[in-house]
């Protein structure tokens, strides 16, 4: 238990009454970017600081993080950051928050293991206090007392949080499901959720990701059985791609390898990091001499090897992508290989994944994925499990979180069907402050939120205008005009040199660019040397005239970039 150093009484506001606020800064209206602040007057803690991967229109963007303006404006109030689990949509943006504030970070051991590795990369580890908290332990932050509750998810050490506040207990489910699991230590702690329900829950904040799916999630035991059947008769190597943090699935594969007499090779930087952390914490147990190194792969027959790797989402630089493209230095796909993609096709990644599947088939491998076999189970609760959470906790107020807006609406409707009064269902979006006071709960104000795009080392310097320019360049290409004028006479001494990039094949349509030169020369002749700001006028007219000319002749709108030098 962490105690007094984080405990402060909750001061009263000017009216003599303290208020409790929940401020979603990400994750309400989208998949990813999960970030929620909990505030009581002058004390605040943050639950999760996640990122999301770029959407198709975000050309060149590496990933997206929440706009953290509200947290940075209230940095003196922040007494801690609490993490529910180790997925990137919950911890990925943490370094960008810790660059601007120093607050202790709390999480389960595996979560902090991955956080520690991430902070090392950003040179923030030495300046950050990390505190491991296990399920069943209580953490005190100001007027709040937080108990971590074990939940079953697709990563080990996932937790929900029961938050005791001056107004009552708020339950945050984290990402969870209730389905039966055969993986040790990953079952959701039903009795603790029920205990809080009996004591009285002020509000339930519940994961909405899979609210559109009826019934219950598939059990992990069924996935283990399916993998066992597939792997029994594979003639050559078995290559299994999955999320690096899915230690439970990796443990199932290790146990399967022991039964069928195969060695395990881990390949891919992120999976090697996760596996090493899990082994250190004893969350992954492997028989001695089962694991082999990459340089030992040719020392064993193909039918004695399982390769566990990354790239299940079609990531272009992943180990699986390099195998499929034939560019992996040590592993070449062979005709008797069986490749299993043990993960869900995340929306937006379908094309990249199917391209890799096609390339693997071209190499002669047999490829098995979720559309043709039961080899993956979601880590998020389906409808019946969401209902079960409501029945266990019996909340006075219900707040759907973690999902696109349609998910939040569907979850709100599900709560209404479960008997929660509609005026006690708070359907909030990012930035909308949920306030609890003696008069009850309501959405009271709006704070600054949004998305910041990360491109290389740049944070937020890529906006809509830049993305629009990138889209135009990607779709239409560009035409560059280079010219030089004599300063005294205004006569052209170089050019016009017209260069096309991503627009047309110059050798095939050279006349198009030659005619463009004529258009430019006519413009120059029409603007006498004595005209003020002649260079700027010519530059503007070239852009307009070439844009019209190219659209008229070829139906395209390239970006026009005139570079004019006066010497």
Domain regions of the chain by residue span: 4-215+378-459, 220-368, 477-566
Classify strands 43-47 and 168-172 as parallel, antiparallel or unpaired. Answer: unpaired
- The pLDDT tens digits along the chain (567 residues) read 333 233 334 444 444 457 999 999 999 999 999 999 999 989 999 999 999 876 665 556 678 899 999 999 999 999 999 999 999 999 999 999 999 899 999 999 999 999 999 999 999 999 999 999 999 999 999 999 999 999 999 999 999 999 999 999 999 999 999 988 877 778 999 999 999 999 999 999 999 999 999 999 999 889 999 999 999 989 999 999 999 999 999 999 999 999 999 999 999 999 999 999 999 999 999 999 999 999 999 999 999 999 999 998 888 889 999 999 999 999 999 999 999 999 887 766 788 889 999 999 999 999 999 888 888 889 999 999 999 999 999 999 999 999 999 999 999 999 999 999 999 999 999 999 999 999 999 999 999 999 888 765 556 556 666 666 667 666 778 889 999 998 888 889 998 998 888 787 655 556 888 888 899 999 998 888 888 889 999 999 999 999 899 888 888 888 889 999 988
Place of tokens 């990249």: 352
- CA 402-404-409 angle, to 5 degrees, is 90
Question: Residue 287 and residue 307: Cα distance in Å, rounded?
Answer: 16
Question: Residue 383 and residue 213: Cα distance in Å, rounded?
Answer: 6
DSSP state of 30: B
Question: Residue 195 and residue 201: Cα distance in Å, rounded?
Answer: 10
Q: Is CATH 3.40.50.2000 the classification given to domain 477-566?
A: no
**Residue 465: predicted pLDDT:** 65
Question: Residue 357 and residue 366: Cα distance in Å, rounded?
Answer: 9
Cβ contacts of 10-17, under 8 Å, gap ≥ 24: 10/40, 10/41, 10/42, 10/43, 10/142, 10/143, 10/166, 11/41, 11/42, 12/41, 13/41, 17/437, 17/438
Helices (H) and strands (E) in the chain, counts: 15, 27
Catalytic residue, chosen from 87, 172, 380, 402, is: 380
**Residue 317: predicted pLDDT:** 83
Place of tokens 């010219």: 483
Fold topology of 4-215+378-459: Metallo-beta-lactamase; Chain A (3.60.15)
CATH of 220-368 given 1.20.140.10, 3.30.930.10, 3.40.50.10710, 3.30.70.2860: 3.40.50.10710
Catalytic residue, chosen from 48, 89, 157, 207, is: 207
Q: Are 338 and 230 in contact (CB under 8 A)?
A: yes
41 is catalytic: no
pTM over 0.75: yes
**Residue 53: predicted pLDDT:** 77
**Residue 67: predicted pLDDT:** 94
Q: Return the closest-CA partner of residue 382 out of 218, 243, 223.
A: 218
Question: Residue 282 and residue 157: Cα distance in Å, rounded?
Answer: 12
175 is catalytic: no
Place of tokens 């990369």: 121
DSSP state of 165: E
**Residue 316: predicted pLDDT:** 80
Which token pair is 537?
A: 């006028």
**Residue 557: predicted pLDDT:** 83
């Amino acid at each position: 238990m962490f105690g007094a150093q984080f405990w402060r009484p909750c001061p009263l506001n000017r009216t003599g009454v303290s208020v409790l606020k929940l401020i979603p800064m990400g994750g309400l209206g989208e998949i990813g970017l999960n970030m929620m602040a909990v505030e009581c007057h002058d004390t605040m803690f943050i639950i999760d600081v996640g990122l999301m991967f770029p959407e198709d229109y975000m050309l060149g963007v590496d990933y997206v993080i929440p706009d953290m303006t509200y947290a940075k404006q209230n940095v003196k109030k922040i007494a801690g950051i609490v993490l529910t689990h180790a997925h990137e949509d919950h911890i990925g943006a943490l370094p960008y928050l810790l660059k601007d504030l120093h607050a202790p970070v709390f999480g389960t051991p595996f979560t902090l293991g991955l956080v520690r590795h991430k902070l090392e990369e950003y040179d923030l580890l030495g300046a950050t206090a990390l505190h491991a908290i296990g399920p069943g332990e209580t953490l005190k932050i100001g007027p709040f007392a937080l108990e971590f509750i074990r939940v079953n998810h697709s990563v080990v050490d996932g937790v929900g949080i029961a938050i005791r506040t001056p107004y009552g207990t708020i339950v945050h489910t984290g990402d969870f499901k209730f389905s039966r699991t055969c993986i040790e230590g990953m079952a959701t702690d039903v009795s603790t959720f029920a205990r809080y329900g009996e004591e009285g829950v002020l509000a339930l904040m519940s994961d909405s990701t899979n609210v559109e799916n009826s019934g219950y999630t598939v059990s992990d035991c069924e996935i283990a059985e399916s993998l066992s059947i597939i792997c029994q008769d594979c003639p050559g190597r078995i290559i299994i791609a999955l999320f690096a943090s899915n230690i439970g699935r990796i443990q199932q594969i290790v146990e399967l390898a022991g039964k069928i007499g195969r060695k395990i090779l881990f390949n891919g930087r992120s999976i090697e990091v996760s596996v090493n952390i899990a082994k250190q914490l004893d969350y992954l147990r492997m028989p001695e001499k089962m694991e082999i190194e990459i340089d030992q792969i040719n020392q064993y027959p193909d039918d004695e090897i399982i390769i566990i790797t990354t790239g299940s989402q079609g990531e272009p630089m992943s180990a699986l992508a390099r195998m499929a493209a034939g560019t992996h230095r040590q592993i070449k796909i062979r005709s008797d290989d069986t490749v299993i993609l043990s993960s869900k096709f995340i929306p937006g990644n379908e094309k990249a994944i199917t391209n890799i599947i096609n390339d693997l088939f071209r190499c002669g491998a047999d490829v098995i994925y979720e559309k043709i076999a039961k080899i993956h189970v979601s880590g998020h609760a389906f409808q019946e499990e969401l209902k079960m959470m409501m029945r266990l906790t019996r909340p006075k107020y219900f707040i759907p979180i973690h999902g696109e807006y349609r998910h939040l609406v569907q979850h709100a409707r599900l709560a209404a069907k479960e008997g929660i009064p509609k005026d006690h269902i708070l359907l909030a979006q990012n930035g909308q402050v949920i306030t609890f006071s003696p008069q009850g709960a309501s959405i009271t104000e709006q704070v600054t939120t949004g998305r910041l795009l990360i491109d290389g080392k740049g944070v937020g310097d890529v906006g809509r205008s830049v993305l629009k320019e990138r889209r135009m360049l990607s779709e239409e290409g560009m035409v560059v005009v280079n010219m030089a004028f004599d300063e005294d006479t205004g006569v052209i001494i170089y050019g016009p040199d017209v260069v096309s990039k991503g627009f047309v094949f110059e050798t095939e349509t050279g006349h198009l660019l030659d005619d463009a030169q004529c258009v430019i020369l006519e413009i120059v002749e029409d603007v006498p040397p004595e005209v003020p700001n002649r260079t700027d006028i010519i530059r503007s007219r070239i852009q307009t005239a070439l844009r019209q000319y190219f659209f008229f002749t070829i139906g395209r709108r390239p970006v026009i970039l005139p570079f004019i030098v006066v010497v």
